[in-house]
Amino acid sequence: MASSSIPASTSSISEEELTLTVKWSGKEYTVRVCGDDSVAELKRRICELTNVLPKRQKLLYPKIGNKLAEDSVLLSTLPLKIGSDSVFRLVNVEFKMRHTSTVEDDIIVDPVESPEIIDDFELGQEETVDIKDKDVNKQKLRRRANQYKIKLRTPCREGKKLLVLDIDYTLFDHRSTAENPLQLMRPYLHEFLTAVYAEYDIMIWSATSMKWVELKMGELGVLNNPNYKITALLDHLAMITVQSDSRGIFDCKPLGMIWAQFPEFYSSKNTIMFDDLRRNFVMNPQNGLTIRPFKKAHANRDSDQELVKLTQYLLAIAELDDLSTLNHNSWELFTEDNAKRRRHA
């Protein structure tokens, strides 16, 4: 059968929804993505339907070769067959996944679920603004907000601000070995969550699977603690892929996902996110605080004071009307200045 290719220069295809058929384990699944989505996004959508983790997926498609192994490749650049009923809508495109793929239910703890990202980076201000304001990224954010429904564990509380927390290297050292998960928990975690819960609703957002999030937070005693409540959990499926001129394509955590679903409670004015990777803030740089990573738990358990100091910061800024006007990079100076004012009051 003859096939047509999508020219890399065709811009309108990026905005069109693509309907793909995924065959796996004797079943067919319909996946809807867009041309401006990457292979990584396609895998994320497949994971929603099949429970096969993106890192464990191997996709095959005639005449594409190894391009499907490159997560950063945009679907609009691949020579997919075009359906006869619409020039820009792809139909009946079959992806076959190798049967060696493993369903997530078979994996409880796996390093694949918590990839090690060493090359964190900070984009220039102009490039950050460009990414945040690009129409294509705004469209991705809108689609994600429609596709990914946040399930509340406890109701949002009127008048409270929102704290969004990463897990790996923020609350938990996921790479060190220990006989008990509690030995890998960041010091003062429960004291921190108890104190800030008075002023903040708390959501936890990890770039891993929901099973891993629930497992680790359950083992650390976070999900059913009597002194505070977790409002919601988010996983890798809530993230979007963006592209920068200097760093290429990468995933990030857009807070607009949350604001779009709970506009009556949360906005850029009352939200702050902690993450050890500053790249995750690129869609909302004014709301991100880069926390020092908690690593080598066995050596740093007695010396790490990050959450103690951040408790003071969060409680100090809780009385402000607009958190997005703060420079969270200077959070330690803000805390020190407030402490000095109290001593001289």
Does residue 3 belong to any structural domain of this protein?
Answer: no
How far apart CA 33 and CA 139 sit, in angstroms, is 12
Domain boundary pick from 106, 141, 169: 106
Domain boundary pick from 106, 134, 165: 106
- The two tokens of residue 165 are 């927390």
Per DSSP, which regions of the chain are E strands?
17-24, 27-34, 59-60, 93-97, 161-165, 200-205, 232-234, 240-244, 248-252, 271-275, 288-290
pLDDT attached to residue 57? 84
Neighbours of 110 (CB within 10 A): 16
pLDDT attached to residue 223? 97
Of 31, 257, 9, give the one whose Cα is nearest residue 137.
257
Residues 253-288 have pLDDT tens digits of 999 999 999 999 999 999 999 999 998 999 999 999
Do 195 and 236 belong together in one domain?
yes
Do 181 and 38 belong together in one domain?
no
The pLDDT of residue 191 is above 80 = yes
How far apart CA 184 and CA 188 sit, in angstroms, is 12
Do 45 and 124 belong together in one domain?
no
How far apart CA 297 and CA 170 sit, in angstroms, is 12
- The two tokens of residue 301 are 């358990």
Does residue 222 belong to any structural domain of this protein?
Answer: yes
pLDDT attached to residue 16? 63
What is the rounded average pLDDT for all residues in the chain?
Answer: 80
Mean pLDDT of all residues in 27-54? 82
pLDDT attached to residue 334? 86
Total number of residues shown for the chain:
345
- What is the sign of the dihedral through the CA atoms of 216, 234, 117 and 32? positive
Domain count, the chain: 2
Do 81 and 121 belong together in one domain?
no
Q: Are strands 17-24 and 27-34 parallel, antiparallel or unpaired?
A: antiparallel
Do 91 and 186 belong together in one domain?
no
Buried b or exposed e, range 57-66, using 16+ CB within 10 angstroms: bebebeeeee
Do 146 and 230 belong together in one domain?
yes
Do 94 and 171 belong together in one domain?
no
Of 159, 208, 115, 169, give the one whose Cα is nearest residue 307.
169
The pLDDT of residue 10 is above 50 = no
CATH at residue 285: 3.40.50.1000
Residues 225-256 have pLDDT tens digits of 999 999 999 999 899 988 887 777 888 999 99
Does residue 276 belong to any structural domain of this protein?
Answer: yes
How far apart CA 97 and CA 59 sit, in angstroms, is 5
Helix (H), strand (E) at residue 191: helix 189-196
pLDDT attached to residue 122? 62
pTM: 0.76
Do 133 and 101 belong together in one domain?
no
User: Helix, strand, or coil here: 14?
Assistant: helix
Domain that holds residue 52: 12-106
pLDDT attached to residue 339? 52
Does residue 319 belong to any structural domain of this protein?
Answer: yes
Question: Which of left, alpha, beta for 305 (phi over 0: left; psi -120 to 50: alpha)?
Answer: alpha
Do 96 and 150 belong together in one domain?
no
Q: H-type helices in 75-171, by residue range?
A: 125-133, 135-147
User: Helix, strand, or coil here: 113?
Assistant: helix
